[in-house]
């Protein structure tokens, strides 16, 4: 039987999930014997583009998808009159796109647990220091925390309306003093500590959806459960070589 998988669908916050201390790596490590973590992150994408390609993106995923995280909004929230205007999507359209993406994934993977993740908060100072944004013609940040917050609230609202889970990482992170530099590497993308916060939230949401470590069977006998005097006993049902 194919192992269940957890698909991570999103923008750069997702594409970078296997970088240093990444939340995707931590998930893969957490579920090392029970579930596969499948990366479908597309840096720079907003929901308009993600919506267009969502069908193609999920068609590249094989196997039994048990859960999917959807994290978009950081690019949609780029301001329409600043350096990253090409990525901007109005919040009303963001809401519609997000709803359509969720519906499409639920049709494609019936019974899948969908977890919407809001964009993270923005540290405008950190963003300004980070080239090429530091050299922007206006000197003004192309993303603001207030704008990201509007999209985060829209994301939570879509989740509530659709009856699916949401992780409000925008609010959650700002509860920690010093979140700006502690959790964000360049004012937008996550540090290893920021990744840990998101990892914990995802683990909690999966547990809430009955996809905890305890709920999923471990693939093959654990070494610690074997009889040290007769470990081969654990494999008696496995047949012989010829049957492989």
CA–CA distance from 158 to each of 33, 101, 145 (Å)?
A: 33, 11, 20
- Minimum gap (Å) between residue 15 Cβ and its own copies: 5
- Minimum gap (Å) between residue 48 Cβ and its own copies: 8
Annotated catalytic residue within 30, 36, 88, 189 = 189
Active site residue 186: yes
Annotated catalytic residue within 12, 36, 76, 88 = 12
Residue in 10, 41, 119, 149 binding its own copies, rule: CB under 8 A:
41
| Residue 70, SS3 per DSSP | strand
Residue in 9, 45, 133, 170 binding its own copies, rule: CB under 8 A:
45
Q: Are 151 and 73 in contact (CB under 8 A)?
A: yes
- Minimum gap (Å) between residue 34 Cβ and its own copies: 10
Annotated catalytic residue within 25, 186, 212, 234 = 186
The contact pattern for its own copies, residues 65-104, with x = CB under 8 A and - = no contact, is ---------------------xx------------x---x
Sheet holding 36-41, edge to edge: 36-41, 4-10, 64-71, 113-117, 165-167
Kindly give, in sequence order, each residue whose CB lies less than 8 Å from that of residue 76, ignoring residues fewer than 6 positions away.
46, 47, 48, 87, 88, 89, 91, 94, 119, 151
Distance CA 9, CA 63 (A): 16
Residue found by looking up tokens 């829209």 in the block = 154
Residue found by looking up tokens 């350096």 in the block = 83
Active site residue 189: yes
Residue in 125, 157, 208, 238 binding its own copies, rule: CB under 8 A:
238
Distance CA 67, CA 127 (A): 32
- Minimum gap (Å) between residue 9 Cβ and its own copies: 12
Kindly give, in sequence order, each residue whose CB lies less than 8 Å from that of residue 201, ignoring residues fewer than 6 positions away.
117, 167, 169, 172
Residues at the contact surface with its own copies, assessed by CB under 8 A = 1-3, 5, 15-16, 18-22, 24-26, 28-29, 32-33, 36, 38-45, 48-49, 51-57, 59-64, 86-87, 100, 104, 219-220, 222-224, 226, 228-229, 231-232, 234-235, 238-239, 241, 243-244
Instruction: Catalogue the active-site residues.
Output: 12, 186, 189
């Amino acid at each position: 039987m194919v192992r269940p998988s957890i698909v991570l669908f999103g923008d750069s916050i997702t594409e970078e999930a296997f970088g240093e201390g990444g939340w995707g790596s931590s998930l893969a490590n957490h579920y090392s014997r029970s579930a596969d973590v499948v990366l479908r992150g597309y840096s720079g994408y907003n929901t308009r583009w993600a919506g267009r390609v969502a069908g193609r993106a999920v068609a590249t995923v094989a196997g039994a998808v048990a859960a999917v995280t959807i994290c978009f909004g950081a690019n949609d929230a780029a301001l329409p009159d600043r350096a990253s205007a090409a990525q901007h999507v109005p919040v009303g359209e963001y809401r519609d796109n997000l709803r359509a993406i969720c519906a499409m994934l639920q049709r494609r993977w019936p019974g899948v647990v969908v977890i919407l993740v809001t964009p993270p908060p923005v540290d405008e100072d950190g963003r300004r220091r980070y080239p090429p944004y530091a050299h922007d013609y206006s000197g003004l940040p192309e993303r603001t925390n207030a704008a990201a917050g509007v999209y985060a609230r829209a994301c939570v609202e879509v989740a509530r309306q659709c009856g699916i889970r949401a992780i409000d990482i925008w609010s959650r992170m700002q509860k920690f003093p010093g979140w700006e530099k502690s959790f964000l590497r360049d004012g937008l993308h996550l540090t290893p500590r920021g990744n840990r916060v998101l990892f914990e939230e995802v683990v909690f949401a999966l547990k809430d959806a009955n996809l905890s470590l305890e709920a999923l069977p471990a693939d093959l006998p654990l070494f610690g459960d074997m009889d040290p005097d007769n470990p081969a006993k654990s494999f008696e049902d496995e047949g012989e070589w010829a049957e492989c």
